Structure 1
Amino acid sequence: MSTQTVTATSTPLKIRRLTYADLPQVIALERRAFPTPWSLAMFVLELSKSSGVCLAALRDGELVGHMICSRYDTVWHLMNIAVDPVQRRQGVATALLNELIERIGGADGSAQITLEVRPSNKGAIALYERFGFRSAGRRRRYYQDNGEDALVMWRTPATLAGRLDDIPNVAL
């Protein structure tokens, strides 16, 4: 697929496939971004799957964000999106989501994508809603660090049309 370049600040942002060589930077970013970061083994497992989409966002050659999305039959599961805290609100997550949607053929709205997000993460929820994701329920006590629920969100042809009547009930 194409490499996407976005200028959110004075320095362009480059989006490309995440590689094993990126993992030291990914792990460091995870530790800065999340109270319960993914382990190295989790990233290795996701990178080993041929059906997934794993993306890196780089600015000035430094990894400033990453995304992991796995495919389960006809549904995509956005499992991890992280942006370095000092790079937030500069278009990194938006660029990653745009590239993901382009790569999975979702620009026409046909791809079904789901994710979990903390209800307290208002910025992420607003971002996902701009991309057509809608809340479809909760996973109780999903987050290990504080027992917070997860808000389950979906992006489907129905949510893009403003309806919630056709959100899949898929166990992931």
Structure 2
Amino acid sequence: MISLELKLQLLTSKDLSAILELDQACFGGLWTMEGYQRELGSPNSDLIGLFSSISQTKLLGMGCFWSILEEAHITILAVHPQYHRQGLGQALLYSLLQTASDRGLERATLEVRTSNLAAISLYQKFGFKTAGRRRRYYQDNGEDALILWRSDLQQPQFQATLTDWHIKVSQQLSKYSWQLLG
């Protein structure tokens, strides 16, 4: 069986058109080109892309977090709809949490639509707990957001947890012939 190679790497301005294409496919145009340019230029923002040389959609997914004091505030986790339910979201979330831990951040937080059960399930698998609710948070339809929270990114046991996740993520990806490089 042939493995399809996946690579996680920081996004740069040369990736802008692919970023905008993915944003459109996933969110219908959540952020503008200027918004992404600000993210790419900010020292407090990590924007990670998931690439495959095999696919015609080279940028299969992306994740972003802001470093705010000791916290990683995850702002985006997106996988191209064509590649949902293959473990790519897990790979991105793992990478975001690994990067946040490497940066010395202690906690991770995010908002998620209350109706997005697949995303909520993914976040719960990675140890996120519900910390609250933002009423009518989403402007497009007035839907509430759950505030999810994960602490302990600097605790010794978190490194062991990351190792376990890497194994689980790799196993999930291999079911769909994906192989995470590096």
**Residue 150 of structure 1: CA displacement?**
0.8
Q: Report % sequence identity.
A: 38
Match of 2:24 among 25, 28, 31: 31
Q: Deviations over 1:70-92 (max 9, x none)?
A: 01111110001111000111121
Q: Which has the higher contact order (CA 8 A, sep 6+)?
A: 2
**CA distance, structure 1, for counterparts of residue 111 and residue 28 of structure 2:** 16
Residue 15 in 1 paired to residue 2 in 2? Answer: no
| 2:168 matched residue in structure 1 | none
Identify which range, 46-55 or 18-27, moves more after superposition: 46-55
**DSSP 3-state at the match of 2:59:** strand
CA contact (8 A) 2:61 2:88 kept: yes
Q: Which runs of 5+ in 1 are unaligned?
A: 1-8, 162-172
| 1:6 matched residue in structure 2 | none
When the two structures are aligned, how many residues end up with a matched partner? 150
CA contact (8 A) 2:64 2:96 kept: no
**DSSP 3-state at the match of 2:148:** strand
| 1:103 matched residue in structure 2 | 99
- Which TM-score applies when normalising by structure 1? 0.80
- Which TM-score applies when normalising by structure 2? 0.76
Identify which range, 30-39 or 130-139, moves more after superposition: 30-39
| 1:121 matched residue in structure 2 | 116
**Residue 154 of structure 1: CA displacement?**
0.3
CA contact (8 A) 1:82 1:93 kept: yes
Runs of 4+ in 1 over 4 A off after TM superposition: none
Q: Match of 1:83, as an amino acid?
A: V
| 2:152 matched residue in structure 1 | 157
**CA distance, structure 2, for counterparts of residue 65 and residue 126 of structure 1:** 18
